[in-house]
A and B are shown apart, each in its own frame.
Chain A
Amino acid sequence: SQQGEEDPQALSIQEGENATMNCSYKTSINNLQWYRQNSGRGLVHLILIRSNEREKHSGRLRVTLDTSKKSSSLLITASRAADTASYFCATVKAAGNKLTFGGGTRVLVKP
């Protein structure tokens, strides 16, 4: 079973718009991570947020974490065609434990 569930499953936006996707999980976590997967490629780590953090930024990425709601969101600002990819959240229940991935959000950024 998957710990994280992303919403929406697919998202289509115009270049320059913001893209927001959400991840919900079921049990308490140590940290939550977001990964990107370009078509036909492996996953690439984007950002990690720990259970005692509420918000993190990395370039055009903004991640929030609400442990009371067991949810996280990933915001990509000023999207570019190159942001077209699938985005996955992954949870870690305890430090050093294995990751459990959600089903992903497919994002299409139209030029």
Chain B
Amino acid sequence: NAGVTQTPKFQVLKTGQSMTLQCAQDMNHNSMYWYRQDPGMGLRLIYYSASEGTTDKGEVPNGYNVSRLNKREFSLRLESAAPSQTSVYFCASRTLSGTSTDTQYFGPGTRLTVL
């Protein structure tokens, strides 16, 4: 099992450019999440997908869109990148089993710089 994979690992964009961050998980999890982490801070939720076919806004959704392509894949799109979107982006998937299990598994992250 590869767990949660993200591509690319690094990206530099100019202001106004667009790009899509890809995320895939092979653990058959229903829920997937996109977070951003700014220097010295915790994670802030951008968007999440509780199950295939559904997406919901998190704490900081402005400037982003998402697509839950299928159960495995959840992509994050920046339509017009801004310097304020310079951050490290993490994708996660979550296993929930009644009341006994609740764990998020994280990908390695994408370091994005917007000039």
Contacts and interface: CB of A to CB of B under 8 A. Distances in A.
B102 A43 contact: no
A96 B109 contact: no
Interface in B28-63: 33, 35, 40-45, 48, 50, 58-59
Contacts of B92: 42-43
A42 B106 CA distance: 5
From DSSP, what is the main secondary structure of chain B's interface residues? strand
B56 to A, nearest CB: 8
Interface residues of A, number: 26
Contacts of B4: 42
- Count chain A CB atoms within 10 A of each CB in B4, B43, B90 and give the residue with the most: B43
Interface of B: 4, 33, 35, 40-45, 48, 50, 58-59, 90, 92, 96, 99, 102-109
A30 to B, nearest CB: 9
Given A42-B107, A43-B90, A48 B102 contact: yes
A88 interface: yes
Contacts of B107: 42
B41 A98 contact: no
B58 A98 contact: yes
Nearest to A104: B42
B42 A102 contact: yes
Given A40-B109, A43-B90, A95-B99, 4 more contacts: A42-B92, A43-B92, A50-B99, A90-B104
Interface of A: 1-2, 4, 31, 33, 35, 40-45, 48, 50, 88, 90, 92, 95-96, 98-104
B109 A42 contact: yes
B102 A33 contact: yes
B108 A45 contact: no
A103 B105 CA distance: 19
A98 B102 contact: no
- Count chain A CB atoms within 10 A of each CB in B44, B104, B107 and give the residue with the most: B104
Contact of B104 (A40, A41, A45, A50): A45
A23 to B, nearest CB: 11
Contacts of A2: 42, 44
